[in-house]
Amino acid sequence: MPLPRYAYLSDVWRDGIFDNKVVFCTGGAGTICSAQVRAMVHLGANACIIGRNVEKTENMAKDISTARQGSRVLGLGGVDVRKPEALQEAAERCVKELGAIDFVIAGAAGNFLAPIDQISPNAMKSVIDIDVLGSWNTVKATLPYLIESAAKHRTDGRTPPAQGTGGRIIFVSATLHYAGTPLQAHASVAKAGVDAMAMSVAIEQGPKGVTSNVIAPGPIAGTEGLDRLSKQSEGEAKKIPSGRYGTVKEIADATVYLFSDAANYVNGEIHVVDGGQWHIGTAAGSSSFEYPDFLLSGEAVAGVKGTKGKAKL
């Protein structure tokens, strides 16, 4: 059953602005990335979403396709972003079936809560491999197509692009590493690497017409990440300067902006969508796990959805 438009997209965007374009998204079956892709599909794009779980990815693709009658959304499950050959095959199939790759969302990620002394080497490596190498593999697999799209859709900021925009990539990151976040050393290191990668792509590929930017979501209501990483409460939400958790629609709107004609001259930037949360300091601003008492106690993380004691990855 189709979702109401305002659940994933603001009313300010004109229908059809991404007609005949194709978006390729890793982590596309997740709550945030699926909303990003759904918004693009609603506005005219076709899409290819990538995930590890076959059933979940294929079902999400069918669900996203309800955003616009006649849309084509491929759900490629069983794809591990840590394997470059798997991403290469997925990108080739996307182009073969949909005709191009104009936009890329690098959204696959892994995370859990644990202090440094409870993170195993394998757990650290897993997060780095998924977030950093997964993003790298996504860039390597899709960059030739992005360069081709950018050449067809270059803009000068003075005249409307005749065939719309293209040749753009967004990395989905986080704000964890800006001021430091307890229990998130692994993810902080990984996301800092993702941010650096996005800047390198912007600098090196910008002359070819490619734009590379980052979206850094804050706490977004109803997402798997917030369920796994926070003891949610009304009191916690009030500590955010905007006084509430964010919505997936607000991440989708940022995505549409960065891929649209409105962001032609935005390149190599980090677009934070967090209601101002990171400015207050994550360690002192959250009572989920009191700092530093919880760390000094040596206890394993508990009371968060999906947590099963000390990390064993």
Q: Which residue do the tokens 């693709």 mark?
A: 61
Active site residues: 173, 191
Beta bridge partners, 246, equal 220
Beta bridge partners, 214, equal 171, 270
Helix/strand/coil percent split, the chain, to 5: 45, 10, 45
Superfamily of domain 16-297: NAD(P)-binding Rossmann-like Domain (3.40.50.720)
Residues near 67 by Cβ (< 8 Å), separated by ≥ 6? 2, 3, 8, 38, 39, 41, 42
pLDDT, mean over the chain: 91
Tens of pLDDT, residue by residue over 69-122, are 999 999 999 999 999 999 999 999 999 999 999 999 999 999 899 999 999 999
Tens of pLDDT, residue by residue over 272-310, are 999 999 998 754 334 456 777 777 887 877 755 645 444
